[in-house]
Structure 1
Amino acid sequence: MTMPDRRAVLAALGALSITPSVAFGSEYIDLEWTDLVPEGQPALPPVIQDLIQHDGPDMSRQQPVSHGVRTDWNGEIVRLPGFVVPIDYSGTGVTAFILVPFVGACVHVPPPPANQLVFVTTQTPYEGSGLFEAVNVIGMFGTASTSTQLADIAYALSADHIEPF
């Protein structure tokens, strides 16, 4: 991710973080990946069969077109399960990552549409168990267009809590 892109994402996340976080009890909205796709738009197929061509164009060029976003949960505290694709580290912990709906997304298969990817940042580095760890992320959610070398991303989540799935 280029520095201006990262600054824009951090600014957008900062705007989302104006309201204080709530406790991690039941005071969050449980989201599923299908909740992020606008009504009438196709959800991801259950099995992705096309592996990327490693000697072909970069993955962001193989990303399917996204057909809109849902703004229903902008500014809300949500919990969303997914898999970690690390972007930034602090020490041995991840401080920024792409939350993806299935193992291999953005690395071994073309990335999902932008409305099926979430850019997650956390002030407390997450010490995960490795690439593609399944996690639940709880925090402030919203739409925020971001571009990385791996994919275009339509959503952002400022994580207050990350736990193994």
Structure 2
Amino acid sequence: MLRFWIVLSLWGLASTGFAADYRELNWKNLLAPGEQAAVQATTSNQHNQVAPQVSAAVNPALDRHAVSLSGYAVPLEGDGQTVTAFLLVPFFGACIHVPPPPTNQVVFVQIPGGVPADALWDAIKVSGRLRVEDAHSDLANAGYRLEADAVIPYAGQ
């Protein structure tokens, strides 16, 4: 298993160049300016209730920027061995438990060539170009799309 993560990490570094090419984001950066408290309160109030997903304003300043964001994957497309599209969410189990996070806390990720499905069980870091654009799936709606250049294990900080 360790060899798998080393190979995946090297693949991610080789395909992206240097991490300095990407702006490191956290989940608060995805919230629209001035909406942090309202979205967080809505999320915490609805966490254990069956309710529809909250549609929340995105941060338009992030459109078309090269970014890195860490989180958890909810696989959407692939062949069982490789995943080519997934939702990136801020906490484990999001979208599987109801309600999903607000739309500005869900990123629809596509990765050409895919990533090994086994690589998505733990926290990951995704790097690529972010678009402020809606995406819809059976599990949740997303306020952002990201064409990934790399998916690597999240090393923490």
**TM superposition score category, shorter chain reference:** 0.7 to 0.9
| Separation (CA, whole Å) in 1 of partners of 2:49 and 2:73 | 19
Retained in 2: the 8 A contact 1:103–1:132? no
How far does the alpha carbon of each residue in 1:123-149 deviate from its partner, in whole angstroms, 9 at most, with x for none? 121114366531000001111111111
With over 3 angstroms needed to count, the CA separation of the structure-2 counterparts of 1:147 and 1:137, relative to structure 1, is same
Give the superposition deviation at 1:90. Answer: 3.8
What is the RMSD of the two structures over their aligned residues, measured on CA atoms? 2.3
Deviation at 1:65, TM superposition (A): 2.9
Cα displacement string for residues 88-111 of structure 1 (whole angstroms, at most 9, x for unaligned residues): 014501100000011111002310
TM-score (norm: length of structure 2): 0.77
Identity %: 35
CA contact (8 A) 2:16 2:150 kept: no
TM-score of the superposition, structure 1-length normalised? 0.73
Structure 1 runs (4+) greater than 6 angstroms displaced? none
5+ residue gaps, structure 2, are 1-14
Q: Residues 148 and 119 (structure 1 numbering): CA distance in 2 closer, same or farther, change over 3 Å?
A: same
Select the structure that is richer in helix. 2
Residue 61 of structure 2 corresponds to residue 63 of structure 1: no
Partner of 2:129: 140
Aligned residue number for residue 31 of structure 1: 25
Give the number of equivalent residue pairs.
136
Give me the whole-angstrom Cα distance separating, in 2, the residues matched to 1:86 and 1:79. Answer: 19
> What letter matches 2:55 in structure 1?
V
